[in-house]
Amino acid sequence: MRISYDVIDGRIAEVHRDDAPIVIFQSPTDAEREYLVKEMLVDEHTLQSALDMDEISRLEFEPNHVAIILKRPANYTNDIHVEFRVASIGAFLFHDRLLIVQSDDSSLWEGRRPFANCQSLPGSLLRLMYFTIDHFLGHLKVIHLILDEIERKIQKSLGNKALSNMFALEKSLVYYQSAVQSNGLVLAKLRQHVGRVGFNDEETEFLDDIMVENDQCAKLVDIYSSILTGMSDARVSIVSNNLAILMKKLTVISVGIVPVNVVASMGGMSEFSAWTRHIWWPYSYGAFGLAMIIIAYMTFVLMQRMGMGANPNEDD
């Protein structure tokens, strides 16, 4: 799919003409790939890299254009568990046009905060890079909300779904760390070649702002990754603690049953009837039941004094 844009009154707007200076190819067809390779002289390997989600970010200077491979967030799904992935995007800056290639139909401009005072194609490229970082920051806000939800659940009990989401988030943040860091390397290389790319002073200043935003995004990813790692360690401790509490409760139950069980076993034997044959049976068995109650109470008091009956959820 081919979508055309132009810079009108300092803003990037969609147009419907073939000679538009900005063109986005979404999931390019074979004919569109042939056009990019044969007519626009885009390197075929670089074009394949723009469609490969596992490709790293990089900057290359070709004879007639500048080729940039960027990492961007892919649309996330939560049918079974939340998972955030990354995708690649290729930007090819010519003297008179900017060609953008992506592997899906996700929007790059619509629905985002419009930029004013965009007067050139290099400036449009910078807007694209800023939107990519802004997209990462938007996903990180969602990850922050999910982390808060998992943190609330982990205080009680962590179910299988929450546990699956935690592992998926930990995997996603690894992808985000690699993507944001590689984008930062591309930004640093662009900063070294501002004259070769064609940035003016205002665009160079905007590039510095983008680098700051990317560094902040990288720090957020590191922070959330550390938090998630801490949650994983906390989960192991909670599972071990819950197991210890369960074993303690089972021990208390076993200790409490043993004395009563011994007395009950004695009362169930025929010897007890022989011992009490001269006593009216309501008296003998009534005394036997009272003895069991006394023994059970004494066992309970003894366990309380030993601390075995304390509530494990109470703070020290």
pLDDT tens per residue, range 99-113: 999 988 887 765 555
Give me the pLDDT at residue 306, please.
61
Q: How many CB atoms lie within 10 A of CB 99?
A: 22
Give me the pLDDT at residue 24, please.
92
**CA separation for the pair 281, 296 (Å, rounded):** 22
Higher pLDDT, 236 or 198: 198
Joined together, the tokens standing for residue 225 give 């990754």
DSSP code of residue 66: E
Residue 268 predicted with pLDDT over 70: no
Higher pLDDT, 33 or 18: 33
Band (117; pLDDT cuts 50, 70, 90)? confident
Give me the pLDDT at residue 115, please.
56
Residue 16 predicted with pLDDT over 80: yes
Give me the pLDDT at residue 315, please.
47
Q: Estimate the crossing angle of helix 201-268 against helix 121-154, to 10 degrees.
A: 20
- pLDDT tens string 143-179: 888 888 777 776 565 566 667 777 788 888 889 999 9
Joined together, the tokens standing for residue 258 give 């043993």
Nearest to residue 100, comparing CAs of 14, 22, 27, 156?
22
Give me the pLDDT at residue 161, please.
67
- pLDDT tens string 202-211: 999 999 999 9
Give me the pLDDT at residue 68, please.
94
Higher pLDDT, 232 or 103: 103
Q: What is the mean predicted confidence (pLDDT) over 130-150?
A: 86
Per domain, the residue ranges of the chain are 2-239, 247-306
Q: Are 103 and 153 in contact (CB under 8 A)?
A: no
Give the CATH architecture of domain 2-239: 2-Layer Sandwich (3.30)
Give me the pLDDT at residue 102, please.
92
Higher pLDDT, 209 or 288: 209
Q: Are 303 and 263 in contact (CB under 8 A)?
A: no
Residue 222 predicted with pLDDT over 70: yes
Higher pLDDT, 133 or 243: 133
Joined together, the tokens standing for residue 14 give 């969609």
Instruction: Report the chain's mean pLDDT, rounded to a whole number.
Output: 81
**CA separation for the pair 309, 125 (Å, rounded):** 68
Give me the pLDDT at residue 61, please.
93
- pLDDT tens string 294-305: 877 777 777 666
Q: Are 18 and 2 in contact (CB under 8 A)?
A: no
**CA separation for the pair 207, 183 (Å, rounded):** 13
- Give percent of the chain above pLDDT 70: 78
Higher pLDDT, 316 or 172: 172
Give me the pLDDT at residue 278, please.
66
**CA separation for the pair 239, 247 (Å, rounded):** 12
To the question of pTM greater than 0.75 for the whole model, the response is: no
Out of 119-128, 242-251, 254-263, pick the least confident: 254-263
Run of H or E including 309? none
Residue 133 predicted with pLDDT over 80: yes
- pLDDT tens string 38-97: 999 999 999 999 999 888 899 999 989 999 999 998 866 555 566 788 999 999 999 989
